[in-house]
């Protein structure tokens, strides 16, 4: 089985929820997913439900379909699963080569099972070209995406003040700061075959890549969600927020007429205050945080009092009399 192991870096995508494709990239991703599902159907022992191909996001549905996962896992444990002409290995290879992040996550879901079966059969000295083709494809993808660079992480230096601490003392950079760069994985060399001396290295990188891609997709998902929220968010400067808070204050603290309409107004006002408080926390606006939090507390206090409570009246209890 001839399989090329050169991959292009994945394009950004989000798989948080099935969404209706609107852009050209979304339509291309939809076509790739439908093609992959059609190719997988004759490989599995049970036919795939039509709802997978007709879903708004077929790759998302395929990733989370329990019956499909069970069938693929069973086939991976089959005695002939790792052969060079194995159709499931061919499908995993071609699906990952599609460079579609959604389909690549489908392949990565079965990576631990594939690696476990492969390592357990290495000692048998049986040809496992199918497994190795998938493994090398993933390794080549990681090698290309790194661009010859090592995977590193910066470790905080406790001898220096963080950006959240004010200090008048100037700290000069010294040679110790350079030691805070930790190498998670050194630079990778391209490999066209899986030799015994390289096997652990290649599979270790492949397993780390699985975690990284999962985290990357989650990060993209959060970024997309923040972008959607940002474009739909109305700017709330203090000049605009002040009258809004006054209106909510009147709704919360006004005399309560004993009827359902007045109570509903107070409930809606409380919900609006909670939303404004969350917004103030997000914007890190001290004045807005203090004002909205005060309204929430006052609204809670008013709800615990009787219906005749009037905040403009002076209290008659605890009054000293001569």
User: In this predicted structure, what is the pLDDT of residue 44?
Assistant: 93
Rounded Cα distance, 101 and 207, in Å: 17
b/e per residue 121-147 (b: at least 16 CB within 10 A):
beeeeeebbbbbbbbbbbbbbbbbbbe
Give 262-291 pLDDT, tens digit per residue.
Answer: 778 888 888 889 989 988 888 888 889 999
Look at residue 230 and tell me whether its pLDDT is greater than 70. no
Angle at 124 between CA 120 and CA 126, to 5 degrees: 105
User: In this predicted structure, what is the pLDDT of residue 103?
Assistant: 94
User: In this predicted structure, what is the pLDDT of residue 260?
Assistant: 76
Give 154-164 pLDDT, tens digit per residue.
Answer: 776 666 666 65
Residues 6 or more apart from 87 whose CB is under 8 A from it? 43
Give 100-151 pLDDT, tens digit per residue.
Answer: 989 999 999 998 899 888 888 887 878 899 998 998 888 888 888 777 777 7
**pTM value surpassing 0.75:** no
User: In this predicted structure, what is the pLDDT of residue 152?
Assistant: 73
User: In this predicted structure, what is the pLDDT of residue 266?
Assistant: 84
Which tokens belong to 118? Answer: 């492969």
User: In this predicted structure, what is the pLDDT of residue 17?
Assistant: 44
Q: Which residues pair with 152 in a beta bridge?
A: 183
Q: Hey, where are the domains in the chain?
A: 28-155, 236-305
User: In this predicted structure, what is the pLDDT of residue 197?
Assistant: 57
- Average the pLDDT over each of 14-23, 193-202, 205-214, 265-274 and give the range with the smallest value: 14-23
- Average the pLDDT over each of 26-35, 95-104, 118-127, 232-241 and give the range with the smallest value: 232-241
Instruction: Give me the chain's average pLDDT, please.
Output: 75
CA dihedral (206, 208, 211, 212) in degrees, to 10, reads -100
């Amino acid at each position: 089985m001839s399989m090329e192991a050169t991959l292009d870096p994945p394009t950004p995508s989000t798989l948080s929820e099935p969404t209706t494709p609107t852009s050209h990239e979304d339509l291309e991703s939809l076509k790739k997913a439908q093609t992959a599902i059609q190719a997988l159907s004759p490989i599995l022992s049970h036919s795939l439900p039509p709802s997978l191909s007709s879903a708004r996001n077929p790759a998302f549905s395929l990733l989370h379909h329990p019956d499909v996962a069970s069938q693929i896992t069973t086939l991976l444990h089959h005695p002939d699963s790792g052969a060079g002409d194995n159709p499931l290995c061919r499908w995993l290879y071609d699906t990952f080569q599609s460079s579609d992040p959604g389909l690549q996550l489908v392949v990565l879901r079965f990576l631990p099972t594939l690696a476990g079966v492969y390592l357990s059969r290495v000692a048998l000295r049986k040809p496992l070209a199918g497994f190795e083709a998938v493994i090398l494809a993933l390794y080549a993808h990681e090698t290309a995406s790194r661009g010859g660079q090592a995977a590193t992480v910066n470790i905080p230096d406790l001898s220096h003040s963080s950006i959240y601490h004010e200090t008048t003392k100037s700290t000069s950079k010294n040679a110790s700061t350079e030691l805070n760069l930790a190498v998670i994985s050194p630079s990778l060399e391209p490999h066209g075959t899986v030799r015994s001396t390289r096997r652990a290295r290649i599979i270790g990188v492949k397993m780390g890549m699985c975690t990284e891609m999962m985290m990357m997709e989650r990060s993209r998902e959060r970024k997309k969600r923040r972008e959607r929220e940002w474009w739909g968010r109305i700017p709330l400067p203090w000049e605009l927020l002040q009258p809004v808070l006054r209106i909510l204050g009147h709704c919360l603290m006004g005399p309560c007429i004993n009827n359902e309409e007045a109570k509903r107004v107070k409930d809606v006002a409380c919900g609006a205050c909670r939303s404004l408080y969350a917004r103030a926390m997000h914007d890190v606006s001290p004045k807005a945080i203090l004002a909205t939090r005060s309204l929430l507390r006052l609204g809670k206090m008013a709800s615990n009092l009787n219906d005749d409570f009037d905040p403009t009246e002076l209290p008659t209890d605890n009054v000293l009399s001569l």
